[in-house]
Chains A and B, each alone.
Chain A
């Protein structure tokens, strides 16, 4: 049998955010918004959920007097993502 998929990652926007963050060292909130086409409010909520799960680090700083939110995937997030992809693959293999 295949494993249940991680419910934190098995959500369209959260998975999109983690997939973008796995591809870069760190990203600003605006970058994530550009890539996911999500609304600021929705993205903000999902980022918080990922942060609470320990999958991403969120830091705030100022750049040219503007507040900036920087997101970075944590080692725990990387492991969870890798496990999620493995689970997906095993599921798809069984279905074949």
Chain B
């Protein structure tokens, strides 16, 4: 691109919208953490479902859920690395960070209440929680896959309240796929494409 090249008013408007859209290409991130959480929750749900269906006495299988705590370590490492590599700051970085921190706090508190009070339908509440940051960020960024993922979590939350256990775990896996794994895949593809174009 050159500085003083003559260009029409129409071209000016096109350039403005092209540049704004190029800047926004980077906004939603690399998709790695979304893929990771989508995979972890789906894996844990499916292992738990298989256990409940075929090996109900194998109590130790429940420890698979510890993966959700262990996932915090790579999450921190990836977030720090991405922050270091990012060469810009968005207008709403702090807002987005705040939304995910609130979500993390809500999930930890929810785990505490589930363990302490033996909630009757905890999966429905988890799905409601999953839907909140997903929908909020998708809506704010006009990123349709996350909007759909967030709404899907809420629909699954309703369905899980009228579905017998252990089949409710399928909704949890489905919620994780639609809210995180699939949007993560789309973001990853988009990120790699943008990166390739910038090389």
Contact = CB atoms under 8 A, between A and B. Distances in A.
Contacts of A22: 20
B57 interface: no
Contact of A25 (B3, B10, B24, B90): B90
Contacts of B4: 11-12
B25 to A, nearest CB: 9
Interface of B: 1-5, 7, 9-10, 12-13, 15-16, 19-20, 22-24, 84, 87-91, 93, 198
Contacts of A35: 19, 22-23
16 contacts: A10-B12, A12-B3, A15-B12, A16-B15, A19-B20, A19-B23, A22-B20, A23-B23, A23-B24, A24-B90, A27-B87, A36-B1, A42-B3, A64-B84, A88-B13, A92-B10
Contacts of B84: 64
A83 interface: no
A30 B84 CA distance: 14
Nearest to A49: B3
Interface of A: 5, 10-16, 19-20, 22-28, 30-31, 34-38, 42, 45-46, 64, 85, 88-89, 91-92, 95
Nearest to A17: B19
B1 A24 contact: no
A20 B19 CA distance: 6
A45 B1 CA distance: 13
Contacts of B7: 12
A63 B84 CA distance: 9
Query: Which residue of B2, B20, B87 has the most chain A CB atoms within 10 A of its CB atom?
Result: B87
B1 A13 contact: yes
A76 B126 CA distance: 46
Nearest to A28: B87
A62 B138 CA distance: 34
A67 B181 CA distance: 37
Given A22-B20, A23-B19, A24-B23, A92 B1 contact: no
Nearest to B21: A23
A22 B24 CA distance: 11
Given A13-B1, A35-B22, A25 B16 contact: no
A15 B15 contact: yes
Contacts of B198: 34
Contacts of A88: 9, 12-13
Nearest to A19: B19
